[in-house]
Chains A and B, each alone.
Chain A
Amino acid sequence: MSAAATQTPNASFVRRLLSRPLAVVALLWLVLLLVLSIGAPVFAPLDPLEQDLLALKQLPSAEHWLGTDALGRDVFSRMVHGVSLTIAGVIEAVVMASLLGLSLGVSAGYFGGLWDRCVQQYVSLVQSLPTMLIMLAVLAVFGQAMLPAMVTLGVMGSAGVSRVLRSVTLAVREELYIAAARISGLSDAHIILRHVLPRIAGPVIVQMSLFAAIAVIVQTGISFLGLGVAPPAPTWGSMIFEASASLNDFPWLLVPSGGVVALTVLSFGLLGDSLRDASTESWSRPAVRQSVKARQAIQPKDLPEGCLLSLRDVTIVTGTGSATRTLVQGVNLDLKQGETLGIVGESGSGKTLTSLSLMGLLPPGVHVSTGTAVINGEVIDLSNEKRLTQLRGATVGMIFQEPMAALDPCFTIGHQLAEVIRLQGLGATQVQAKVMELLEQVKIPNPQDVAKRYPHQISGGMARALASEPRILLADEPTTALDVTVQAEILALLRSLSQSRQMAVVLVTHDWGVVADICDRAMVLRHGQVLESATVVDLFHRPQHPYTQALLAANPHSAKPGDVLPTVDDKLMNITGVAT
């Protein structure tokens, strides 16, 4: 067995951590602090309390590396001697927070039930306490000793730690090997110690590191207020306080005192962040958009008479460079006024992407690599999202699959409809009349009432797409989420609108019934490629492509009751030449 294969996950975790330069620097700084705190008299031989009245408020020099303060004390020496007090306070708080947070979080996540609810109540109570005030009370009561104050900080901090660890434990508990360990009769204590704790060690260390950063700030703050440590003793907080007294004539003192605190807090924070990143999988960066000019230009005069929409060579891809994946390849189509075209295919065949590309609304990371459209007589490069944006609404409209998700949950349906209608420049009363008319058209009962409701109380995303009276309507499975009677009415509405307004309709669907009902022509899409495009009559009676035949045969409407529903894969088993 090779050396790499025998490495434990922990070893590779450490290696991943050490491969991050910032984490290494942070770690080095913290180790340096630890060494300084142990060997303070060696590294800073000058007495931190000794006052040299002949050398007040001096800038850094060979003798005083960081200068001297208002009493002539050596700043570097005070800083180094202050390390141990800070480190001690941080350790007290972190130990308390992690011990309490770990036991509460893990037990709540593992056992659940009443105990879990108690812990959660405790967490929310502690998190709403005014931390600083509680600490002040503790300091007042315990004669300004640092230890009880930092332990109190640890108790307050344990709430946040336990909340994170609870959710991590919940996830671990659901895993199969924990269930197996339980079934095999291992005790809870054994399972927690041997199986749960090793799995959540990463998050525990992350939480400890992040909490240590907070503890440094709080410890500095307490000594800044003159609490916790008796005055002449050097602490970082008291150094900042001393700097405040010399603010007018010697602001330099702010630099070393604030700098050391900031570096330490930053190191703990960076370490925590790097630990978190190293313990989770790295994810790829979002693709950078590449704009590619359309390969073949088309002219409106080349198009058939009355053509409202034409697409030429539309290719949609995701990713860049070698990671590019083609989602839709070279789609062409022509659509006349009053004509309805069905785009048929399985999920993931690129039907929806094709229609979204026309709106300039492709999801992030997906873009048009080539493709030209002629929309209402205007030639448009499909990568020109700016122009497509201007055409949305009045020229091209779209009905989405899930009517609920298409409405803003924060506004009433009437408001959202009126908003779009107002774009046509109508007056208030006309807008209201139009809202009612639209709601009636899409077969919503009680339109007066519905207009005042919020989307979560009713559904009605379709009316809004029609409110802007577009020339071209894209409908992405508009009837999937509706019941059968409404479905039929909506289809009838689409048909009548396409006739009366001479609107061109692109209907994306996987339902052959819908295609047969209202489409004039249809095209079959699979893996982003157009396999067949023909009039509906031809397509149903003389399907050319084997995949179309399979798709038609898999129509669940023609299955006999009791039989297993046919699928495309059954039919394709013996067909060759269809695979991508």
Chain B
Amino acid sequence: MFKVVLHRLLMSVPLVVVVTLLTFVLNSLAPGDMAMTILGADGTREQYEALRIELGLDRPLLVQYLSWLGHAVQGDLGVSHFTKETVTSLLNPRLGVSVSIMVGVLVVCLSVGLMLGVASALQGGWVGRAIDAFSLVGLIFPSFWLALVLISVFAVTLRWLPATGYVFFSESPKDWALSLVLPIFSVAMYSITSIAKQTRDAMNDVMGRDFIRALRACGLPERSVIWKHALRNAALPVVTVLGLVMIGAISGTVFVERVFVLPGLGSLAVSAALNKDILLLQGVTLYFTLMTVAINLMVDLSYGWLNPKVRLS
């Protein structure tokens, strides 16, 4: 098991390097560099040259990248030229918001998605059709549009939940939870149905296997056959999809944080993009890539836990 974790962590090093290098290369392709962006149209030639040297932009691209990487490993991601604050001091307080949404999405997907999937595998009929209809809605409407509809229904009309804004857990746990309900469901809407469909297919596949027939032949109660044996075996492909869904949910948070005005990493990424704040954007990208690595690691660990063949090899 330790080997699996180590292998996955080693495999993710190239991913982190590629993503951050890509942002660097993109930056160099851009018409006009960071010094020009900071100075704007009013800067003189001399000011520009001086700022370039100060920012280290006169060095070759690879040297610039390695210098950034060297500092990044030590926890220094540079200074945002827009707000003049360090990138880490901008990112860290916002991490909790995005992670809260992600964990919420995971919980909702697993509980609702699995239940619906098993139900439609066993019932077929209307549960299956409801899931199909539901997933069509999640598929064809953009998540931010669904978020607006949810606000319009649950916040504006029914007044059950707050429309926008975020309450920190330390201020009021109840309001914190309430402020997260709509964002989480907006992101999870599509994911729930992906999980449900995958669960249905995997369950249908497992239910046709010989050992299920053999378990039934032994007179084992149906609930044990389904919830213990079939679901456990169906879990592997579901976990794979869950990993992909969670990686997709990272992109979802970008929109949802924007719609619900949540102070998370996603909304920060959008304003960084609008302000051409390259170092800040680079920092957000790094954080999100590390989240992807963490998700993949969790997927691998659950493979090991679910499948004895992986665990023992």
Contacts and interface: CB of A to CB of B under 8 A. Distances in A.
A407 B139 CA distance: 38
Interface string A462-483: 0011011000000000000000
Contact of B31 (A143, A226, A400): A143
Given A133-B285, A141-B30, A400-B210, A224 B142 contact: yes
A392 B218 contact: yes
B270 A136 contact: yes
A244 B164 CA distance: 11
B277 interface: yes
A402 B210 contact: yes
Given A225-B270, A261-B141, A405 B210 contact: yes
A423 B220 contact: yes
A8 interface: no
Interface in B199-235: 208-211, 213-222, 224, 229, 232-233
B10 interface: no
B250 interface: yes
B14 interface: yes
Contacts of B220: 393, 419-420, 423
A144 to B, nearest CB: 8
B111 interface: no
B214 A461 contact: yes
A467 B142 contact: no
A243 B18 CA distance: 38
B201 to A, nearest CB: 15
A138 B26 contact: yes
Contact of B281 (A137, A142, A269, A393): A137
Nearest to B23: A137
Main secondary structure of the interface of A (DSSP, over half): helix
Contact of B214 (A125, A134, A226, A398): A398
B166 interface: no
Given A258-B141, A456-B308, A133 B269 contact: yes
B218 A467 contact: yes
A21 interface: no
Contacts of B281: 133, 136-137, 140
B259 A244 contact: yes
Contacts of A402: 210
A238 B258 CA distance: 14
Interface residues of B, number: 71
Contacts, number: 213
A221 B144 contact: yes
Main secondary structure of the interface of B (DSSP, over half): helix
Given A136-B270, A247-B151, A410 B306 contact: yes
Interface in A389-403: 389, 392-394, 396-398, 400, 402
A419 B224 contact: yes
B142 A247 contact: no
Interface in A189-221: 213, 217, 220-221
A139 B282 CA distance: 13
A278 interface: no
B30 to A, nearest CB: 4
Q: Which interface residue of A144, A220, A225, A420 has the most chain B CB atoms within 10 A?
A: A225
Contacts of A243: 148
A248 interface: yes
Given A129-B18, A409-B307, 13 more contacts: A134-B22, A137-B23, A139-B273, A221-B142, A225-B254, A225-B255, A243-B148, A363-B208, A389-B222, A410-B233, A423-B220, A454-B312, A468-B218
